[in-house]
Structure 1
Amino acid sequence: MDDTTRNTVLEAWMKEHGYSSNAFAEAVNLASERLTGHAGGHDGASVRDWKSGRVRWPKTATRRALEDVTGLPATALGFVPRGRTPSVPALLQKDSDSMKRRSLVGGIALAAAAPAALRAASGRRIGMSDIDRLYKRFAEIIARDHQHGGQLVVEQQAAALADAALNLQNAGGATQRVRSGLYAAAAAFRSSAMWAAIDGRRYDDAKLHMREAQSLAELSGDQAIKFRIWSHAGTMYRHVGRAVDALAANDVACNLHITRRDPLFACLGHARQAASLGLARDTAGVQRALGRAQDAWERADRSLVRPVWMTAVLDGAELETLAVAAHLRLGNFEKAEMHAHRSLALLHPRMRRDRALNTVRLAAAQLGQGDIEPAVATAMKVPSDIAGRHARVAPMLQGFGTALRATAADSSGARDWAEHTATWSIAV
């Protein structure tokens, strides 16, 4: 594609307003949903098509959404109606003087566009309905995480939605309550990006998302999202074997006043602390933390409305899952097996990633007790699409195979496992 056909006006507008291609796509999708009742299907590739000139005149619904986001008519964004030729390329020549003229024309277009954008922004009110639409997208991100977990695309989508929520801050007037809500939504999306990176074992990326999420949470003042971020930080440090840092991060989460206001948050905080204490080989601490978590869970008011990511805590599945992790670390295989069976009974079918993880943990607990055949049969229940690809499940299964060979290399179970795993490749 010749550079003279690029939509440099749109590119410049996005750069000036801090939009990446993915974030701009999400903003347009949100506008489409607001205008038509149906979310748009655009992504970063769609925006790159607009910028490159491959799509010179988007469809009517898309143009309306673009105009809603920017406050400018499509033609002022550099789009060209069908049947017309762009006026700017006609001015362009291939010498250096023409390059200067092209820059001048672009600058004039932007200068003319800026007052219109400001007028449009000042006339629009951002309200709670905008935040409600953001949280609808947040629920979709949570559902994708439960289904797949750890995928880079989920991390990227969540990060783009965080940027879209932040860009709404500059889209028009809003009350302080709404502005706090936008920061909270941005922090929620960024915390999901953080979690997807943790689950995918992309820990350097997770730390970057964590720092951004923490800043946004402070701006929002939202206790629930602060809890989620610090609790995820504890999990991240536990996954990399840093028990002291994990305990410290969990302490921050547990000391937030939301844990005193709502026992269900206290339950999750204590349960995650138990998993970290298991990493530290603190048997008494694990028992104490799990006892506190169980007590808090029993005291929790089931009728309260809570964030969508708390669902597994409400039904008890997350408490059982973290108890499995804690007891496995301590080598309490009988207790780990008991909690694993409970967790699998409580987990919703859509939570495929958690079900796979706890199935591997159940197999490890059975193997730890010397039950070779049941352990192998359990491990074989992990779906192959998760077994060979998920960044946490695959190494756990590899560890199971290593322990199986060390325990009973000549058993029929070990032979069955070798034959089973030959059909798919375990990613490490």
Structure 2
Amino acid sequence: MPEHTANETFVVARITRGWRTQEDFAEAYNAVAASVDSKARISVRQVRRWESGQTLWPNRDARHVLTEMFGVPLDQLGFVPAPGRSTRIGLTASSKSDREASMLRRSFVGGLLLAPLLDLEALDYLTAAARNAHRFSDHELVDHLRAALNETARMDLKMGSHRAVPAALGILSAISTTARDAKPPIRHELLALGSRAAEFTAWLHHDAGAPEQVIAYWHNQAKEWATFTGDGAMHAYVLMRQAQSLGGGDPARMLDLARAATTGPWKLPPRAHAEALQQEARGMAMTGAHPDEIARVLDQAHVALDRADKPAEHPLCTGPLGNGYTRERLLVQAAIRLREAGRPLEAVAAFQASLTAEAFAPRDHAHYSAFLAGALADLGEPDEAAAVALEALHVAAVVCSQQAIGALHSTARTLFPYRQRPQVRELHERLVALAAG
């Protein structure tokens, strides 16, 4: 019986586009086939043949559908054409450049934007990550992936979420593929680590400005794996992070999620509990709760921090939940709440008291400075607001933090009546240039 070499490139490409199982992919394939009037349909068995390497080059109908789904030539998915065949079958000269340019920015699952498609260099990284996972023994593998996740978090902090996404997805791909056949104790460790990695990946997509359904996908994956491993605290932590990702778009749901994190059948560590209580207070403020009730919840957050151990100087993504949450961060987030409550003067004072370069990494400092600039704009201080915004934009543009850039656009809209002032005009011009770039 001939041996086959697994097509790991195709496996990783499938997973990174959100088709987690072969069943998911077969269903999506058949939906796309119907949309392009192709009569070709496949089963899970055919997907297995492609991934095992039994099928080196799909037939004509399958090539057409696969090209529609992935937007790249099939040789870039690990398929090997017969001698003399063109590897570009399915992509016409006129459509190739447009389709690849589009698909390098996004991918579709069942017609929904699910995850950013990676460039070829990033796809190579993911393939290598999945392949290299098999080189380690069980416990070595868990340690290797844990170290890789911590290093990816450091990469995010220094270089931005857009640079960390390929590494995070590579780790998730390796966890997903190796956990299937792992022995129960190792599978438990892998899924526990996978829950951390999925929550972190949701954060990366949130900071990169991905659509809500992308962020929700990874949050749901994190909760699923936390449920499998019986990690109630992690489940609650993801609920809190979901509340944060909503911003001001759905205050009632934000409050529901935050309260579920603080009152559900689980116990968060003190720092994570303080962060969840702050998020609950924000949801209360946005839904019209009485100030005394909001103050009571914030007092509870400060009490939780009083009970906490000393925060880690360099918190690890795989360390204690919320171990990087500090008093300064709580106070700055409370300042955002004051601004949202229409109290910009108090907000500015709170920002200026707690938002220091010593207490925050540059990316986080820029993010919160964008809200400080907004509060200054609300106060009618256009020059000071623009100066703070320009400094924040310098950092946010380098790391491509769409959270901070979005807040700066909001500040620029508030400052529009002052657009003839030099710094305000410069802020508008730089934001326009950044968007065009």
TM-score (norm 2): 0.64
The answer (yes or no) to whether the contact 1:238–1:276 under 8 Å persists in 2 is: no
Distance 1:245 1:293, change over 3 A: same
Change (3 A) 1:53 1:154: same
Is 1:397 the counterpart of 2:403? The answer is: no
CA pair 256-139 structure 1, distance change in 2 beyond 3 A: farther
CA distance in structure 2 between the aligned counterparts of 1:50 and 1:201, rounded to whole angstroms: 27
Letter in 2 for 1:222: D
1:18-67, CA deviations, whole angstroms, 9 ceiling, x for partnerless residues?
554888xxxxxxxxxxxxxxxxxxxxx9xx7794679xxxxxxxxx9998
**For residue 141 of structure 2, what is the aligned residue in structure 1?**
130
Alignment partner of 1:370: what SS? coil
Where does residue 207 of structure 1 map in the other structure? 216
The structure 1 residue matched to 2:281, chosen from 253, 274, 281, is 274
1:230 is displaced (CA, Å) by 0.9
Q: Is residue 328 of structure 1 aligned with residue 339 of structure 2?
A: yes
SS at match of 1:310: coil
Q: 1:310 is matched with which residue?
A: 322
Alpha-carbon distance between aligned partners in 2 of 1:316 and 1:374, rounded to the nearest angstrom:
26
How many angstroms does 1:137 deviate by?
1.5
Number of aligned residue pairs: 325
Query: Which amino acid in 1 is paired with 2:297?
Result: A
Q: Which whole-Å CA distance do the structure 2 matches of 1:13 and 1:206 have between them? A: 25
Structure 2: distance between partners of 1:361 and 1:65: 38
Matching residue of 1:9: 4
For 2:365, give the aligned amino acid. Answer: R
Task: Give per-residue Cα distances to partners, 1:244-264, cap 9 Å, x unaligned.
Answer: 11111112211246546x322
Partner Cα separation in structure 2 for residue 189 and residue 420 of structure 1: 36
Q: Which residue of 2 aligns with 1:164?
A: 174
How does 1:85-124 map onto structure 2 within 5 Å? none
| CA distance, structure 2, for counterparts of residue 137 and residue 125 of structure 1 | 16
Confirm or deny that 1:381 pairs with 2:391: yes
Question: Could you say what secondary structure the match of 1:381 adopts?
Answer: helix
Relative to structure 1, the CA distance from residue 255 to residue 163 in structure 2 (aligned partners, 3 Å threshold; closer, same or farther) is: farther
Give the match for residue 244 of structure 1: 252
What is the distance in 2 between the residues matched to 1:208 and 1:142?
20
Superposed displacement of residue 419, structure 1: 2.9
For residues 379 and 343 of structure 2, the distance between their equivalents in structure 1, rounded to whole angstroms, comes to 9
Deviation at residue 189 of structure 1 after TM alignment? 1.0
Note if contact 2:222-2:238 (Cα within 8 Å) is conserved in structure 1: yes
Output the amino acid matched with 2:172: A
Which residue of the partner structure matches residue 180 of structure 1? 188
Paired with 2:294 and 2:129, the residues of 1 have a C-alpha distance of 53
- Whole-angstrom CA distance in 1 between matches of 2:428 and 2:9: 48
Deviations 1:161-203 (A, max 9, x none): 123123332454353xx43221111111111121122222321
Match of 2:122 in 1: none
Could you tell me how far 1:156 is from its partner in structure 2?
4.2
Instruction: Say if 2:9 and 2:77, in contact at 8 Å, map to a contact too.
Output: no
CA contact 1:243–1:280 (8 Å) conserved in 2: yes
Identity %: 16
Which structure's residues are more often helix, by fraction? 1
Tell me, in whole angstroms, the C-alpha distance in 2 between the residues paired with 1:53 and 1:259: 52
Please tell me whether Structure 1 or Structure 2 has the larger radius of gyration of its CA atoms.
1
Q: Secondary structure at the match of 2:309?
A: coil
Q: Deviations over 1:320-360 (max 9, x none)?
A: 232122111101213322332344226655x3332111111
Find out whether 1:362 has 2:362 as its counterpart.
no
Which deviations, in whole Å up to 9, do the C-alpha atoms of 1:216-247 show, x marking residues without a partner?
110112234223311111112334x1111111
Cα contact 2:246–2:254 (8 A) shared by 1: yes
Corresponding residue number in structure 2 for 1:108? none
CA apart distance, 1:158: 1.9
> By how many angstroms is 1:268 displaced?
1.0
**Hey, what's the Cα distance between the residues in 1 that align with 2:337 and 2:402?**
20
Deviation at 1:367, TM superposition (A): 2.5
Partner of 1:216: 225
**TM-score (norm: length of structure 1):** 0.65
Distance 1:145-1:225 versus aligned 2 partners, 3 A rule: farther
Matching residue within 303, 316, 319 for 2:330: 319
Partner of 1:418: 425
Instruction: Tell me the residue number matched to 1:190.
Output: 198
Unaligned runs of 5+ in 2: 17-71, 82-127
Supply the distance in 2 between the matched residues of 1:298 and 1:222 (Cα, whole angstroms). Answer: 25
Gaps of 5+ in 1: 1-7, 24-44, 55-63, 72-123
- Contact 2:130–2:174 (8 Å) recurs in 1: no
Match of 2:348? Answer: 337
